[in-house]
Amino acid sequence: MTENQVPAWTTAGELTAVPHEVEALAKAIGKKPANDNVPDGSMFNRVMEITNLPSTNPKRAFGVRKPSAQFIPPVAIIEESVVMALGAAKYGAFNWQDDPVDATTYYSAAIRHLLQWFSGEDIDPESGSSHLAHVRACMAILIDAQASGKLVDDRPVCASAGEAIDRLKVAA
């Protein structure tokens, strides 16, 4: 890695700004950081400190610096892959790479599936697959389309959801 390169996971969404994720990891694996003032405060250093992963093995020393799928439940990946395969059969695999997609199309589909799941319907009657897997598939397509420049960003201009959430928080 040259001095101008940085690990991709440190630039995607500024992971250093989400210490609550590190705390969730610590809780999930049953460990507590010995020191909250980890040098430079990076997500990588905090995860390494919590998990106490030695980096003496050359492969581990490089491998742990890359994004890890170990934190994604396998069943979620499997169910999402079933829905993605259904979509590939119906519309063509990775069709959004050939014909850019509107953000609102997949946002609306994801919200519909999430609302159906939230109202007690676990399985989509058309596909026979989990509504939550459909939500994941919609998000995967949006993420991939956005990352590859194939997303038509037709989101409406509206008030900031983040600001509204902060303003309407209930005091704990």
Candidates 143, 145, 140, 137; CA nearest to 86 is 137
Domain annotation covers residue 148: yes
Q: Please tell me whether residues 53 and 119 are part of one structural domain.
A: no
Whether the Cβ atoms of residue 80 and residue 88 lie closer than 8 Å to each other: no
Instruction: Indicate whether 57 and 32 sit together in one domain.
Output: yes
My answer on whether 44 and 78 are in the same domain is no
Structural domain including 112 reads: 74-152
Other beta carbons less than 10 A from residue 22's beta carbon: 22
Verify that 141 and 78 share a domain, yes or no: yes
pTM of the model: 0.66
Over its length of 172 residues, how does the chain's per-residue pLDDT go in tens digits?
344 333 333 333 333 434 555 566 566 655 554 455 444 556 666 666 656 555 667 777 677 778 888 889 999 999 999 999 999 999 999 999 999 999 999 999 999 999 999 999 999 999 999 999 999 999 999 999 999 999 999 999 999 999 999 999 987 6
